[in-house]
Structure 1
């Protein structure tokens, strides 16, 4: 199975909206979506039946009333069952939908964890947890607004996505879960930090040094190191290695490459160090991860 990257939102009637929603129904055929990933956020709300949803190597059995969050760059798959009619609403949106202004640091501290793989958030909300909340109606309203496309629907969809997002982070806050990044300095603003993170996404397999990143941000080596650790809650090397591990997960699940090939293709100098780092972040070896994930998919 070849690596599967899903492209950006579809163009509809000549317009590429930053969001897209539809209902997936297996009544006519079994719905099997193989392992893939994308930069946008995807939400699944099951309104009938059941399915097996795998997110970042963890498999969940979901049923009617369950809600699934798939964050940016999380590898995932969806499988339904023959003989069981299953319907679920799919909502996809660019993370930019959550920003009123790309320079708004006060928003970034809540939103960036959904786009950075270092954070492991709650992927599944069960029906029992959603009982007596407004979330179900918000999801149904998003789907209805998008399908009907009444005057001003773009504003309505965006507003409801933001409301849904607010419900999620407040739900986590009530549980004592917080994923805020640290304060972002004036010297390295949100735009420059995003450029840096985008660079790592594209060049993670290369030999990237802290010195080079500091130069890219026009600050000293020491200042950059302190800043990165404060904001990202990891050293630069720890973050880079984790990005490489995330990319290795995709190759483990979507290619026939061996461990050494995957190690070299994701920026590790040898397979031993790759296995050591993979076990550190995932609690198991790459081989164990692949066997477990594919057996449960």
Structure 2
């Protein structure tokens, strides 16, 4: 089976002023050139445009980022960046491990706010345009982050962590204000959150092997019918839909970062039948895996 560590992963940029789990830097590029080839990483990434414009490829879609626009790239999402013709491109890059969004301990109360950013394509919006961002506290928060970097006063790294959390809060409140849902019920009990995290972790660890809802229910010490109803109520998707979603997301990474055949990729992400994999991929992405691979290599 393919070892996913062979796939290209983003290298750390030298000169990182804040060590992991937070990384911030200003990216600059001349026009009409590739800034970053398709890659993925565990960190959540925010891009905030200052000047020029760039095309940001995220999980099979292309977004144009201009001044004042905010791009949200979830953990494990395949993405790449290409500077558009015209002016020089400059934007702020903020990368953070998901744990940064939690308090000292990973409280279950906070999980429902953080989870939309921790699974690839689980957040409802990748690009927030300048007209949307301007109506939030995000521009002021970005200015505060830049000021902290400039002054580097005592505790500036801690201050930047607080500002980053403020950006995510502003995004969540914006979504709620405009009626965008994140696919989870607000009235979640602690037991629901425990089940959700346990199920997601199970899928992430075992997606490449045969896994059924009955086996997942047994692992959670729940009946199949209760487990299935709960997962659907919490996430809006069935267990099988969640499993296929993760498998397709993993397939995206291999399609864009390796030279594996479609059949090898299908096997690597848990499909025993290549035709079924192709049909599931087309249903999720509205494009075949082969065309997706070719389109990606041309666009970035």
- Where does residue 236 of structure 2 map in the other structure? 233
**Cα distance change of structure 1 residues 212 and 188 upon mapping to structure 2, 3 Å threshold:** farther
Which stretch shifts more, 231-240 or 102-111?
Answer: 102-111
**1:166-181 equivalence runs, <5 A:** 166-181=169-184
Are the equivalent residues in 2 in contact too, given 1:25–1:31 (CA < 8 A)?
no
In the TM superposition, what is the alpha-carbon distance from 1:205 to its structure 2 partner? Answer: 0.7
In the TM superposition, what is the alpha-carbon distance from 1:133 to its structure 2 partner? Answer: 4.2
CA distance in 1, matches of 2:137, 2:191: 41
Are the equivalent residues in 2 in contact too, given 1:67–1:126 (CA < 8 A)?
yes
Match of 2:100 among 77, 97, 101: 97
The answer as to 2:155 corresponding to 1:141 is no
CA distance in 2, matches of 1:86, 1:11: 20
The answer as to 2:8 corresponding to 1:4 is yes
**1:143-292 equivalence runs, <5 A:** 143-146=146-149, 148-182=151-185, 183-187=187-191, 189-190=193-194, 193-292=196-295
- Where does residue 25 of structure 1 map in the other structure? 28
**Per the alignment, in what secondary structure is the counterpart of residue 43 of structure 1?**
strand
Are the equivalent residues in 2 in contact too, given 1:59–1:293 (CA < 8 A)?
no
In the TM superposition, what is the alpha-carbon distance from 1:102 to its structure 2 partner? Answer: 4.7
What is the TM-score when the length of structure 1 is the normalising length? 0.86
Q: Deviations over 1:14-48 (max 9, x none)?
A: x8442111111225995621111112211111212
Match of 2:65 among 52, 62, 66: 62
**Per the alignment, in what secondary structure is the counterpart of residue 275 of structure 1?**
helix
In the TM superposition, what is the alpha-carbon distance from 1:187 to its structure 2 partner? Answer: 4.5
**Cα distance change of structure 1 residues 113 and 132 upon mapping to structure 2, 3 Å threshold:** closer
Are the equivalent residues in 2 in contact too, given 1:205–1:266 (CA < 8 A)?
yes
CA distance in 2, matches of 1:118, 1:28: 28
The answer as to 2:130 corresponding to 1:127 is yes
CA distance in 1, matches of 2:164, 2:7: 30
Q: CA RMSD in A?
A: 2.9
The answer as to 2:98 corresponding to 1:87 is no
In the TM superposition, what is the alpha-carbon distance from 1:82 to its structure 2 partner? Answer: 7.3
How many aligned positions are there? 294
Are the equivalent residues in 2 in contact too, given 1:35–1:253 (CA < 8 A)?
yes
Which stretch shifts more, 282-291 or 20-29?
Answer: 20-29
Match of 1:42 among 41, 45, 52: 45
**Per the alignment, in what secondary structure is the counterpart of residue 174 of structure 2?**
helix
Are the equivalent residues in 2 in contact too, given 1:70–1:123 (CA < 8 A)?
yes
What is the TM-score when the length of structure 2 is the normalising length? 0.85
**Cα distance change of structure 1 residues 29 and 241 upon mapping to structure 2, 3 Å threshold:** closer
- Runs of at least 5 residues in structure 2 that lack an aligned partner in the other structure: 1-5
CA distance in 1, matches of 2:12, 2:192: 29
Are the equivalent residues in 1 in contact too, given 2:56–2:81 (CA < 8 A)?
yes
Are the equivalent residues in 1 in contact too, given 2:74–2:123 (CA < 8 A)?
no
